[in-house]
């Protein structure tokens, strides 16, 4: 599934991206954080939860097939949805950014 991505903002240990998939826009939050749903509230503004779309959350661990997990989430999106990828290690973070069309070397989580 080809997608275009654009960096919107830096987060503490992460990025906010806008991606376009099949001509539909989506907001994506990628962060190197623990796989804890409590982390989502720290990353995603309240307005996103109040909008009509759903917020999908996926944990990606070092050693996981990030590409497969990301494709599974992208396949289930509806217009207006947002995605949060909680990457629990540096390799998972780099793999996720690469899969979303971003240069991992230029966007190292600090």
* Domain map (residue ranges) of the chain: 3-107
3-state class (DSSP) for residue 104: helix
Rounded distance, CA 63 to CA 65, Å? 7
> Model confidence over 17-54: pLDDT tens digits?
999 988 889 999 999 998 888 888 888 887 777 777 88
Q: How far is CA 35 from the centre of its chain?
A: 13
Contact 97, 30 (CB under 8 A): yes
If we measure between CA atoms, which residue out of 10, 17, 35 comes closest to residue 74?
17
User: What's residue 19's pLDDT?
Assistant: 93
User: What's residue 109's pLDDT?
Assistant: 54
């Amino acid at each position: 599934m080809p997608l275009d991505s654009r960096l919107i903002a830096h987060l503490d240990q992460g990025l906010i991206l806008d991606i376009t998939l099949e001509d539909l826009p989506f907001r994506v939050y990628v962060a190197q954080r623990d796989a804890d749903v409590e982390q989502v509230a720290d990353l995603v503004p309240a307005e996103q939860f109040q909008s009509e779309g759903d917020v999908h959350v996926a944990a990606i661990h070092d050693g996981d097939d990030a590409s497969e997990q990301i494709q599974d989430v992208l396949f289930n999106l509806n217009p207006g949805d947002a995605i949060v990828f909680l990457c629990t290690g540096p390799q998972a973070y780099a793999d996720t950014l690469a899969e979303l069309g971003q240069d991992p070397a230029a966007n190292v989580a600090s």
